[in-house]
Amino acid sequence: MSASTTERRELVRKAMKAPYLTREEEHDLAVRWRDNRDEKALEKLSLSHTRLVISVASKFRNFGLPLGDLIQEGHVGLLEAAARFEPEREVRFSTYATWWIRASIQDYILRNWSIVRGGTSSSQKALFFNLRRLRAKLSGNQQNLTDSELHQKIADAIGVKPADVATMNARLSGPDTSLNAPVTDSEGSSSDRQDFLVSDAPQPDDIVSESIDTERRRKWLASAMTVLTDRELKIVRERRLTEEGATLESLGQKLGISKERVRQIESRAMEKLKTALMDANRSGSLVPAAV
């Protein structure tokens, strides 16, 4: 028998032997701890409620984590409840502490059940801890439900999207797998799982081709713009080559002309640029980059 198993059994034995507290005893211990930081009062208060910690922790055994760890985390929640408890509210400490114990255990499970962080919102936490129960209940009552119908009913019950239910269901269906885990094909050769991941990023040759094409287009445009007058060049640059193009009215004020005149000059400049680029293409100076 391992040391941890022995310690857990000893803890359970002591918890079961601890006497139940009356409302008056519980109130007195809580006041002594809050007002005087009486360590003995805290020890007696927490020991008498350790059986509550064990009871709550036992409900989370199906998540694959050691019961001893769940009990420890539940005890952390119990101590947090003792630090926040207000005896004058006339609420039993066990009622107040149950929420803190459960919250501490659930947070521990979410941190350690998978290396992928999940359940960050309250709805996601509710989905994580209730999915299996609801799935079993719905599947048992209505045997002919499709996966999409089942996900929709669970989503309606918890208040999340069906896609979230499908994602969480897939996560709960199997353990984490390392990307470095070997995969052996039918021919006996072995590779890591990460070798089979598909990247959405462009291929290296596409990146190089795009870079070359962009540089060539920049040079073609710079060459074609030499046919423009200074005023045409200024209008094209401020209207077409800036992140936030200038308005016809603002350019007209700068140049001392009407906005209609600015539009006419811009239109003429764009026609000149188009003609210059087409002439260069016909002469063979515009050659696309090799793919």
Question: pLDDT band for position 188 (50/70/90)?
Answer: low
Q: Quote the pLDDT of residue 289.
A: 39
Question: What would the mean pLDDT of 89-113 be, rounded to a whole number?
Answer: 91
Question: What would the mean pLDDT of 234-245 be, rounded to a whole number?
Answer: 86
pTM of the shown model? 0.54
Alpha-carbon Rg of the chain, whole angstroms? 35
Rounded CA separation 178/63 (Å): 20
CATH number among 3.90.79.10, 1.20.120.1810, 1.20.120.550, 3.50.50.60, domain 3-112? 1.20.120.1810
Q: Quote the pLDDT of residue 177.
A: 66
Q: Quote the pLDDT of residue 287.
A: 45
Q: Is the pLDDT at 117 greater than 90, yes or no?
A: no
The tokens for 117 are 């962080």
Which of helix, strand or coil describes residue 228? coil
Rounded CA separation 78/97 (Å): 6
Rounded CA separation 95/138 (Å): 31
Q: Is the pLDDT at 61 greater than 90, yes or no?
A: no
Q: Quote the pLDDT of residue 162.
A: 84
For 290, phi then psi, to 5°, come to -70, 140
Residue 287, phi-psi category: left (phi > 0), alpha (psi -120 to 50), beta (remainder):
beta
Q: Tell me the fold of 204-283.
A: Arc Repressor Mutant, subunit A (1.10.10)
Question: pLDDT band for position 206 (50/70/90)?
Answer: confident
Question: What would the mean pLDDT of 221-225 be, rounded to a whole number?
Answer: 82
Tell me what percent of the residues of the chain surpass a pLDDT of 90.
Answer: 30
Cβ distance 276 to 283 under 8 Å? no
User: When comparing pLDDT for 125 and 142, which is higher?
Assistant: 125
Which of helix, strand or coil describes residue 179? coil
* DSSP H or E run through 183: strand 182-184
25 burial via Cβ count (<10 Å: 0-12, 13-18, 19+):
middle
Rounded CA separation 134/136 (Å): 5
Highest mean pLDDT, choosing among 3-7, 126-130, 261-265, 278-282: 261-265
Q: Is the pLDDT at 174 greater than 70, yes or no?
A: no
Question: pLDDT band for position 186 (50/70/90)?
Answer: low
Per domain, the residue ranges of the chain are 3-112, 122-172, 204-283
User: When comparing pLDDT for 86 and 11, which is higher?
Assistant: 86
Tell me what percent of the residues of the chain surpass a pLDDT of 70.
Answer: 86
